[in-house]
Structures are given as C-alpha cells and as structure tokens.
Amino acid sequence: MRTTSPIKSELGSSTSDTVTVLGQDLISMLGKVNLGDFAFLEVFGRLPDERESVLFNALVVTLVEHGVTPSAISARMTYLGAPESLQGAVAAGILGLGNTFVGTIEGAAKVCQTHLPAAGFHDLGGLAPLSDIEIDDIAVAVVAEHAEQRKPIAGLGHPVHKPLDPRAQRLLQIGRELGFDDSSSRLMEALARKASERSGKVLPLNATGAIGALASTLGVPADVARGLGVMARSIGLVGHILEERREPMAKTIWFRVEDEVAP
C-alpha cells in the first residue's frame, strides 16, 4: 500500500440545510448571482465586483457562439449517430476546442503576460502602466520574433471581419469604459498595427485576441484561458443540438462527403 495524502476539495460541501461553494452560501446566491458571475467564482474563488461582472460576462458571451464551426459540425455528426446521448454530442464538440481555435486565446494571453509583467493586469500594485511608446517597442520586437520563426501572432487576422473585428472593438471599449488598465489591450492593438505594417496584409485584432488581452487584465493565467472557451462554447453547442433537431444538416453533410469520395 502506498501512502497517500488526504483528499480535499473546497468546491462544494453540504449539511442538511446548507450548501457551500468555494466558501460562499449557495442558497443566498440563487436569484441574485447570474451564470457568468458564478463562472467567475469557479475561476477566481470569489465573486466578481460590479465591473468585473460586466467585463467577464461580455468575454464569455462572445465565446458562446461562432456559427457552424468544426466543433459544431462534430457535435451535430455525433448527435446523428447517438441521439440518445445529448451529452456525448456536446462532449464531441468540446473536444475540438484545442490549440487551433481556443489556443489562440491562450497565445494572446501569453504574449500579454510575458511582456507586461506586473503592469497590464488587474492589480497594477502601484506601478505606472507602460507608455504607448514602450508598448510599441514591445510590439515591434514580438512581431519580428514571430516573423523570424514564421509563426502567426495569436489573436490577429479574420477572414470576414476586416479591417476591424466589431467584437474585439466592443470588448476593448467595454474594458476602457469600466476603467480597467488597458495595457494588454494597447499591446494587442499595437501588435495588429505593427504586424499589418510589416506583412502588408490587413491583420485586425480579432475576438480571441481581445479576449486573451482582457482575460489577462482580469488575472486569468494564460494556461487556463482556454477554460473560458470551453465553458462558453458548451452552451453554444447545446444550442446547435437544439437547432439540429429542428433543422438537421448532419445527414446532408455526410451524404455529400461520401458521394464526393466515392461517386
């Protein structure tokens, strides 16, 4: 027998007439706390203040629905095969939220969290934010480094939303209206500008780039930022299954693919 440590969790505990989640009384939260605030509690271990609530809800709401993505197609295909298991269809969709798509949130957050140490986050701890000139210098260096390694910068570029992504614009505006330090936002904007200049292409800051920046502002570590996408998209995937029941597309996609492969 190996010696093991005791098993502990602070996520939920109950007595006969109370339920506590992360130290908060669940019963008194019901009817007052919305789903986004409760998600904040799960991530940060405390409830948000008013402006954190607005910004965090805006970030996750943006992530819920991106149309008929590969993840949504996968969920719908799975539902066609296993209609007895709605949870299986949603799980299949969630499995596609990896490096290619939600990984860009992590990538953008990582750039912010690497190059804006201390500054650029929620709690500046008394430090002055970086000036625009300092931010531009960082952006030039990051763009050069990515160009050298021939790697795209996470959070830039969009096939449709050009020259500006309206979601990114609005999210940055919300952060500023609420009075959050905007160093992360300025860094991502500078990256978009400098990368566009250097490449000669239109590379707008996109929604995942803005979310990576603002998640950094709220203090979400880069390596769990994809958790926000997973939380939100599972809601959108339930929406896709409900639509697949009303207006199915999975069988059509399947037949077309099969007929093209073996006519």
Site for its own copies in 155-184 (CB under 8 A): 160-162, 164, 166-167, 170-171, 174, 177
Restricting to residues 85-124, name those near its own copies by CB under 8 A. Answer: 85-92, 94-102
Restricting to residues 21-60, name those near its own copies by CB under 8 A. Answer: 21-22, 26-27, 29-31, 33-39, 42-43, 53-54, 57-58, 60
Restricting to residues 240-259, name those near its own copies by CB under 8 A. Answer: 240-243, 245, 247, 249-259
Least distance to its own copies, CB of residue 188, Å: 17
The closest of 218, 249, 252 to 52, measured between CA atoms, is: 218
Least distance to its own copies, CB of residue 151, Å: 15
User: Cα–chain-centroid distance for residue 190?
Assistant: 20
* CB of 139 or CB of 174, closer to its own copies: 174
Least distance to its own copies, CB of residue 175, Å: 10
- Partners of 205 in the beta sheet? 156
Distance of CA 103 to CAs 6, 209, 235, Å? 34, 10, 19
Question: Per CB under 8 A, does 71 bind its own copies?
Answer: yes
Cβ–Cβ under 8 Å, residues 232 and 63: yes
Q: HSE, CB side, 13 Å, CA atoms: give it for residue 177.
A: 10
Output the six-digit token pair for 41: 């509690």
Cβ–Cβ under 8 Å, residues 28 and 141: no
Least distance to its own copies, CB of residue 94, Å: 5
* CB of 123 or CB of 247, closer to its own copies: 247
Distance CA 75, CA 94 (A): 8
* CB of 186 or CB of 226, closer to its own copies: 226
